[in-house]
């Protein structure tokens, strides 16, 4: 086989340092631009981006030749450096991140979940249970 075909989807999540509410709307716009730049650099497709004041969710279609840890480290490092050196705000990330592989049939549900993070976290119901249901259906 001369050509390879890969269809790999991942849902990434990381939080601010001590889960402090550091991500304002203006900061989120910068983070979005940085994530788009890194997606271009690594030939990734950004499917959805969401979050709240203390964490980010990213849904990607990835290139199997990249290291997920490298991409996330670059996004986090670039975003915090840019915010801390070019705005009046501060942004620091907790160490680590979470990554979950997504099946194609679950893609739309996870995309909706990522895009509606503010609504999910404003509700009183258990968002962890909702996330588990979304990823297993």
- pLDDT tens by residue, the chain, 137 residues: 578 889 999 999 999 999 999 999 989 999 999 999 999 999 999 999 999 999 999 999 998 999 999 999 999 999 999 999 999 999 999 999 999 999 999 999 999 999 999 777 775 455 444 555 555 55
> Is 58 part of any domain?
yes
pLDDT at 137: 52
Exposure pattern of 127-137 as b/e (b: 16+ CB <10 Å)?
Answer: eeeebeebbee
Angle at 41 between CA 37 and CA 47, to 5 degrees: 60
pLDDT at 103: 96
CATH number at residue 54: 3.30.70.1290
- Structural domain of 121: 8-136
Phi first, then psi: what are they for 96, rounded to 5°? Answer: 85, 180
The domain total for the chain is 1
Nearest-10 Cα torsion for 82, 29, 110, 97:
20
pLDDT at 54: 96
């Amino acid at each position: 086989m001369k050509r390879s075909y890969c269809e790999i989807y991942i849902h990434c999540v990381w939080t601010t340092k001590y889960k402090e509410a550091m991500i304002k709307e203006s900061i989120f716009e910068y983070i979005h631009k940085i994530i788009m730049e890194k997606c271009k650099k690594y030939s990734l497709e950004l499917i959805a981006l969401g979050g709240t004041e203390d964490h980010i969710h990213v849904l990607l279609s990835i290139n199997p030749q990249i290291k997920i840890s490298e991409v996330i480290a670059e996004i986090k490092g670039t975003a915090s450096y840019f915010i801390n050196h070019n705005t009046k705000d501060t942004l620091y990330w907790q160490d680590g991140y979470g990554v979950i592989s997504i099946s194609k049939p679950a893609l739309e549900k996870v995309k909706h979940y990522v895009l509606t993070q503010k609504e999910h976290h404003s509700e009183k119901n258990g968002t962890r249970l909702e996330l588990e249901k979304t990823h297993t259906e």
